[in-house]
Structure 1
Amino acid sequence: MERHDLLAQLHQLIQPRNYLEIGVDTGQSLGLSRVPSIGIDPAFHITEVLDTDVQLVRSTSDDYFRDNNPTERLGGHAIDLAFIDGMHWAEYALRDFIYVESYTAATSVVVIDDALPRNVAEAARDRYTAAWTGDVFKVTRALRRLRPDLVVLEVDTEPTGTLVVLLPDASSSVLVQKYPGLEASMTGATDPQAVPDRVLRRTEAVDPALLLDCTWWDTLVRERRGDLPPGSLAATLAGQDWAALRPIGRELASAAPAAGR
């Protein structure tokens, strides 16, 4: 499944009231939205049809979130669905997640692109390949290690994988407090990057079709609408066997579960 197919089906499944995107480029992913949207990119060049109410902001995410509260544009609602595909350095992607999470609810879904480089060359901080993920893959470990309250799923999408994060907590300050140390270690890395074998082989990545077929997406929607009490989604996800969502026949990592729960 291609990353835009995953994103399109997430729009269908979770029926977001709004959508925020960092890294618009030509508008291919932003064009999937049919709800009030915000697109942030300092150098977008739209070639796709945007068939919705969208605010395009020619800005870096740092500048945007310093000066703006996106919920003011989105009718006071939390961000329901966000796609992070900005600068492909780990410290930038992590910072973008921190920005977005501060405007989410427990039923929000955050998707981060380029989390599974296919080789060490694609994962270089200094780009020299056509397809380039940079070292965004490092965000996965940071989130799992520091935020066990999150569900952090590597998803086996083409071409370079995605990260789906569930149960965000806008009140959490852990990442903000730890960010300076994380940034120092990330910016101090030199090429070639040490990409874990589990990342290159995608041994902990879940199958996107199996993920989308999970019944708890309905729980997410019903909790957001107020039809179920707060915490219903978290309780349901706590019982999910994430290893069962990995592609059949793939060698499974035996130690850690795929999610942070």
Structure 2
Amino acid sequence: MFKQAKGLKYTAFMSALHRDLLFDWYLEVGCRTGRIFAPARGKTIAVDPFFRAEANIIGKKPALHVFQQTSDAFFASGFLKALKVKLSFSFLDGMHLCEFLLRDFIATEKASDLKGVIALHDCCPFDHAMTTRDLSAIPKQAWTGDVWKLIPILMEHRPDLRLTVLDAAPTGLVLVSGLDPKSRVLERNYAQIVARYADLTLDAFGLDRFNALFDYTDTAQFMAAGFPLLQPVALPETAALTPEKITP
């Protein structure tokens, strides 16, 4: 039986997080309309190969950097290094294939603050159909692809990391903390990991085995506690920008 994430919807969580906490640098991979990063109030980097933003997505941000390209191209561009960015919080929701998310995680951790947190979306599927890697057979409703594999991959290869799995509906939200930007373990073992996991189905891995890897953290309670994992990297509210209109 699938252990479905039935807590507060992830969009509500992200909106409340950006409302209550201010981050120096926020990165989002997989944005499309921009509705998730729109409430962010810190310097924001948005990456998506196909943007369709029609609302006010800059809001109260002091800076918004939008890259209409793949995440691989973005990370290879050297932008983060050139601006000496130390990412406070990142939300990775790009291509839903495990090797893509693994590459995004590796590159994001390298540019993260030591106290930073990386959120991985869609790692908790609620049926087998949505875990397909076949891009020609994507379900009409929800599609998580096989990014569920990041949970066992990180647990095996990076036991130094802390994984907090929120029951944020509909497909969970994994908060990864205890980051080490200098770690090259995943990078060195990337080819081996992908060779081992790429063709592995959730059925073959074992649903019970997957369920046993984690317990859900109640999303609403986590929010009520003030987002404890993210408090250490948040800025004081005095640093928030209040945009002012100069001309009538």
Structure 2 Cα separation of the partners of residues 202 and 2 of structure 1: 22
How far 1:189 moved relative to its partner?
A: 3.3
Of the three residues 4, 11, 30, the one matched with 2:18 is 11
| Kept in 1: contact 2:88–2:233 (CA 8 A) | no
1:65 and 2:72 equivalent? no
Structure 2 Cα separation of the partners of residues 45 and 212 of structure 1: 29
Q: Which moved more, 1:84-93 or 1:33-42?
A: 33-42
How far 1:79 moved relative to its partner?
A: 0.4
- Counterpart of 2:79 in structure 1: which amino acid? N
Higher relative CO (Cα under 8 Å, sequence separation at least 6) belongs to: 2
CA distance 1:149–1:194, change in 2 (3 Å) = closer
Aligned residues: 222
| Kept in 1: contact 2:152–2:213 (CA 8 A) | no
Question: 1:61-100, aligned counterparts within 5 Å?
Answer: 61-70=71-80, 72-73=82-83, 76-100=84-108
Structure 1 Cα separation of the partners of residues 118 and 55 of structure 2: 23
Of the three residues 145, 148, 151, the one matched with 1:140 is 151
| Kept in 2: contact 1:118–1:200 (CA 8 A) | no
Aligned twin of 1:156: 167
| Kept in 1: contact 2:165–2:214 (CA 8 A) | no
1:31 and 2:38 equivalent? yes
Fraction of identical pairs, as percent:
29
Of the three residues 166, 178, 183, the one matched with 2:189 is 178
- Counterpart of 1:112 in structure 2: which amino acid? L
How far 1:202 moved relative to its partner?
A: 9.4
The CA RMSD measured in Å over matched residues stands at 2.5
Where do 5+ consecutive residues of structure 2 fail to align? Answer: 1-7, 237-248
| Kept in 2: contact 1:115–1:154 (CA 8 A) | no
Aligned twin of 1:47: 54
CA distance 1:172–1:39, change in 2 (3 Å) = same
CA distance 1:2–1:86, change in 2 (3 Å) = same
Aligned twin of 1:101: 109
- Counterpart of 1:54 in structure 2: which amino acid? L
How far 1:203 moved relative to its partner?
A: 6.3
Aligned twin of 2:215: 204
TM-score under structure 2 normalisation?
Answer: 0.80
Structure 2 Cα separation of the partners of residues 32 and 197 of structure 1: 37
Aligned twin of 2:4: none
- Counterpart of 1:64 in structure 2: which amino acid? F
How far 1:197 moved relative to its partner?
A: 3.2
Q: Which moved more, 1:46-55 or 1:171-180?
A: 46-55
> 3-state DSSP class of the match of 2:181?
coil
CA distance 1:60–1:195, change in 2 (3 Å) = farther
Of the three residues 36, 40, 56, the one matched with 2:66 is 56
Where do 5+ consecutive residues of structure 1 fail to align? Answer: 226-261
Structure 2 Cα separation of the partners of residues 210 and 134 of structure 1: 28
- Counterpart of 1:128 in structure 2: which amino acid? I
Structure 2 Cα separation of the partners of residues 110 and 163 of structure 1: 8
TM-score under structure 1 normalisation?
Answer: 0.76
Structure 2 Cα separation of the partners of residues 219 and 135 of structure 1: 31
1:188 and 2:199 equivalent? yes
Structure 2 Cα separation of the partners of residues 182 and 55 of structure 1: 32
> 3-state DSSP class of the match of 2:216?
coil
Structure 2 Cα separation of the partners of residues 191 and 31 of structure 1: 34
Q: Which moved more, 1:48-57 or 1:7-16?
A: 7-16
Structure 1 Cα separation of the partners of residues 9 and 212 of structure 2: 17
| Kept in 2: contact 1:109–1:166 (CA 8 A) | yes
